[in-house]
Amino acid sequence: QKEVEQDPGPLSVPEGAIVSLNCTYSNSAFQYFMWYRQYSRKGPELLMYTYSSGNKEDGRFTAQVDKSSKYISLFIRDSQPSDSATYLCAMSVQGGSEKLVFGKGTKLTVNP
Amino acid sequence: NAGVTQTPKFQVLKTGQSMTLQCAQDMNHNSMYWYRQDPGMGLRLIYYSASEGTTDKGEVPNGYNVSRLNKREFSLRLESAAPSQTSVYFCASSYRAGGPYNEQFFGPGTRLTVL
CB contact under 8 A, B99 and A97: no
- Most confident option among A95-99, B37-41, B90-94: B90-94
Phi-psi region of A21 (alpha: psi -120 to 50; beta: other; left: phi over 0): beta
- What are the tens digits of pLDDT across the range A22-33? 999 999 989 999
Buried b (16+ CB within 10 A) or exposed e, A80-95: eeebbbbbbbbbbbee
Interface test with A, best of B104, B110, B112 (most A CBs within 10 A): B104
3-class secondary-structure state, position B98? coil
Q: Do A92 and B99 touch (CB under 8 A)?
A: yes
Which residues contact residue B32 at a Cβ distance below 8 angstroms, ignoring those fewer than 6 apart? B23, B25, B48, B49, B68, B74, B91, B92, B93
Confidence of residue B73 (pLDDT cuts 50, 70, 90): very high
Chosen from B102, B106, B112 to mutate, greatest number of chain A CBs within 10 A = B102
Peptide bond into B83 cis (omega under 30): no
Q: What is the pLDDT of residues B56-67, one digit of tens each?
A: 999 999 999 999
CB pairs under 8 A between A and B: 63
